[in-house]
Amino acid sequence: MAPRKELSWKIFPWAALAVTLLLCGCAAAPPAPPVAPLPPPRPRFTPQEVALDRALGRFYGAPYRFGGTTPAGVDCSGLVLAVYQQLGMALPRTAADQFTAGQPVPLNRLRFGDVVFFNRFCQVNKSAPYLAGVLPPASLRQICHNGIYLGGGRFMHASNRGVKVSRLDAEVWRRSYAGARRYLLPRAPGSP
């Protein structure tokens, strides 16, 4: 009997290995890792938007100058005016008057080239935030600043530090946001 016991201990590891391999071979393949969805296609710029993008590039970094409308010096409404003039469009001169022109656009429908407007809170909050609580509400409804929406929550505007890009979700812009207007021609049907 001793030889049989020896033989079973020699066969057992091989049999266990064979059973393990057989069971693993029958198991289902591990699930494939989830595939990230493709980002939505980027909207193609219309010829008007391409021209606007080029015009904005000429003004980026320009110094601030009250009443200015050139890359040598520009203020906020002067930037909007000059950029749109390069597209052959005539807009009013001041931010308040520009706010009355164009088509209103809800915040969740902004697209490249829309002009975003801000009330007086943006000026008060930067210089003396405590004054925002003492100014009459009518004063805070006055449109006093604007910029051109770039997409992705960013806009270009002429600040006292020159023409730069800021985020709409920054507290000062979020709290002083007054609305947006669209001056560009509509895109083809089905475009965002």
Number of domains forming the structure of the chain = 1
Q: In the annotation, is 157 catalytic? A: yes
Q: 150 by DSSP, 3-state: which?
A: strand
Question: Has residue 147 got a pLDDT over 70?
Answer: yes
Neighbours of 191 (CB within 10 A): 10
Instruction: Establish if 37 belongs to a structural domain.
Output: no
> Which of 24, 122, 144, 157 is an active site residue?
157
- Is residue 133 a part of any domain in this protein? yes
CATH number at residue 62: 3.90.1720.10
Read off the tokens for 37.
Answer: 């969805």
179: which residues sit within 8 A by CB, 6+ positions away? 99, 104, 105, 116, 117
User: Whole domain around residue 170: which residue ranges?
Assistant: 47-182
- Per-residue pLDDT reduced to its tens digit, 13-58: 666 666 665 555 555 555 656 665 655 555 677 889 999 999 999 9
Nearest to 181 by CA among 119, 117, 112: 117
pLDDT in tens, 101-138: 999 999 999 999 999 999 876 655 455 444 445 556 66
Domain presence at residue 147: yes
Give me the DSSP letters along 156-176: EEEETTEEEEEETTSHHHHHH
Backbone angles phi, psi at 165, to 5 degrees: -110, 135
Are the beta carbons of 101 and 92 closer than 8 angstroms? yes
Work out the number of other CB atoms within 10 angstroms of the CB of residue 13: 9
Is 145 tagged catalytic? yes
- Nearest of 127, 112, 113, 103 to residue 176 by alpha carbon: 127
Sheet holding 154-159, edge to edge: 103-104, 177-182, 115-119, 143-151, 154-159, 162-167
In a domain, 191, yes or no: no
For the full predicted model, state whether its pTM sits above 0.75.
Answer: no
- Of 24, 26, 122, 145, the active-site residue reads 145
| 76 catalytic residue (yes or no) | yes
Would residue 159 count as lying in a domain?
A: yes
